[in-house]
Amino acid sequence: MIPSAMRRLVAVGGLFALANGLSGLFTGVYLFRLRPGLETPATYALWQFLALLAASPALGWLIKNRGAVLTYQIGIALHAGFYLALLFLQEEAALHLEALGAWMGLALGAWAMAGHVLVYDVIPEEKRELYFNQSGLVNSLAALVTPLLAGWTLTALPGLTGYRVIFVVSFVLFAASAALSLGLSPMRPPAPFRIGAVLPGRDPGWRRLLLAHGVLGLRDGITSFAINLLVYLTTGGEDRVGEFTFLTGALGLVSYWVAGRLMHPGNREQSFRLGAVGMAVATGVLAFGVSWPVLLTYGLLQAALSPIWLTSFSTASFSIIRRATGPEDLRVEMIAAREMPLNLGRVVALLGFLALVRGAGEEQVLLLRWLLPCLGLPFPLAWLLMRSGGGDGRRFGLRWPVPLGRRRP
């Protein structure tokens, strides 16, 4: 039986995924078309993650004192306003990469951090695998429809007209998502926000979790824009970007359904290991080049394996937070602190990438080709960090009694 709060949270996320699927996947390509060069999407992403890094403590304070639902709605509203700004700026958007990146960073930070807190508060421990799989199913379904339609729209309409159309539709969907989020969860009483109490952390598993997020940030900083841009550069059209996302979304939908039937608290460790190794192998496929068949193979492998990885890693994170926070109400501080090494890793990766790109001259795409296969290494490294960070003898801090209520030998 799926609780009503879980259904509402999944539905809000689904509307958000529809809006983001229409526009978010193509923002980097849009900016690249306005100002060609890998520096353009990389600079936009850098300022996005700089804003996320700087704003994490303030957003944590807002969640703890004004509520996760309000912060969640602010994040959605900022997303809607961002696409209104793109409509207003039109071709001049490429002149404001820093401001637009920071704006999107604040939007993502408010939405993601408040969403994590809502999951922690609304979804009970024994239902989290179910929630992450249901949410993944809905998001994959959105990925089947919106990018394909957006790609066709962008290709069919002249110039940048198609971008304006999808930005308007995205605004409407973001507004609907914000409206549906009303009443998600009652606000807890305001409480002091004590970020210093969780940095670097007293629990070994918590410290390892922070390190794992920093390692994964090194990958996320570059892949946040590189894959879709490579598909566009390789194939020469936004319609192929839509087809790429459609095909990977279709396989992801099936994979989430299978993972939802097979994954449970008793096999979390095995699922985590499979996801980490599988994602590293999938990324290694990019060593064979950046042709359409290779990129599609990479995308399909990622779609098949990412549900296992994301469900395992997300469940692991929340389990460690639950144990490490103890009797104190430090869940918001821990979620805010968790974002800081993740975004620091992203910023470091992008600063290094921009330095390399500026020195590569005409060989920018070749540099990206050789860099991307190395970005599979953070997955097994993050798994190893969390595997040895249980702190109380239990790998991952994850081996909760299975079945619930009975101690494992």
Q: Of 320, 45, 351, whose CA–CA distance to 210 is shortest?
A: 320
Cα–Cα distance, 174 to 163 (Å, whole number) = 16
Residue 345, both tokens: 């890793």
pTM beyond 0.75, yes or no:
yes
The answer to whether position 191 is within a domain reads no
The answer to whether position 192 is within a domain reads no
Owning domain of residue 239: 4-182+199-397
The answer to whether position 349 is within a domain reads yes
Digit-coded pLDDT (tens) for 96-136: 999 999 999 999 999 888 888 888 777 777 777 778 778 87
CA angle 332, 105, 221 (to 5 degrees): 100
CA 270 to each of CA 5, 200, 307, 400: distance values in angstroms, whole numbers, following the listed order: 30, 28, 14, 14
The answer to whether position 76 is within a domain reads yes
Average pLDDT estimate for 78-98: 88
Cβ-based neighbours of 294, under 8 Å, separated by 6 or more: 285, 286, 288
- Secondary-structure percent of the chain, ordered helix, strand, coil, rounded to 5: 85, 0, 15
The answer to whether position 340 is within a domain reads yes
**What is the SS3 assignment for 388?**
coil
Cα–Cα distance, 2 to 134 (Å, whole number) = 10
Digit-coded pLDDT (tens) for 188-198: 677 788 888 88
Percent of the chain with pLDDT over 90: 20
Cα–Cα distance, 79 to 83 (Å, whole number) = 7
- Between 389 and 289, whose confidence is greater? 289
Residue 161: the pLDDT is 81
Cα–Cα distance, 58 to 336 (Å, whole number) = 9
Cα–Cα distance, 177 to 193 (Å, whole number) = 28
CA angle 308, 312, 314 (to 5 degrees): 120
b or e along 251-276 (b: 16 or more beta carbons within 10 Å of the residue's beta carbon)?
bbbebbbebbeebebeebbebbbbbb
The answer to whether position 51 is within a domain reads yes
The answer to whether position 25 is within a domain reads yes
Least confidently predicted of 22-26, 154-158, 162-166, 325-329: 325-329
- Between 261 and 255, whose confidence is greater? 255
Specify the number of domains making up the chain.
1
Residue 325: the pLDDT is 66
Residue whose entry in the numeric block shows the structure tokens 């290991």? 273
How many distinct helices (H) and strands (E) make up the chain? 14, 0
Sorting pLDDT into bands at 50, 70 and 90, what band is 409?
very low
Cα–Cα distance, 267 to 242 (Å, whole number) = 35
Digit-coded pLDDT (tens) for 232-258: 888 877 778 878 888 888 888 888 888
Q: Of 270, 307, 289, 281, whose CA–CA distance to 396 is shortest?
A: 270
Residue 297: the pLDDT is 93
**CATH number of domain containing 215:** 1.20.1250.20
Least confidently predicted of 7-21, 227-241, 392-406: 392-406
Cα–Cα distance, 2 to 53 (Å, whole number) = 35
CA 52 to chain centroid: 13
Average pLDDT estimate for 287-297: 88
Cα–Cα distance, 87 to 84 (Å, whole number) = 5
Cβ-based neighbours of 321, under 8 Å, separated by 6 or more: 120, 206, 209, 331, 334, 335, 338
- Length of the chain, please? 409
The answer to whether position 357 is within a domain reads yes
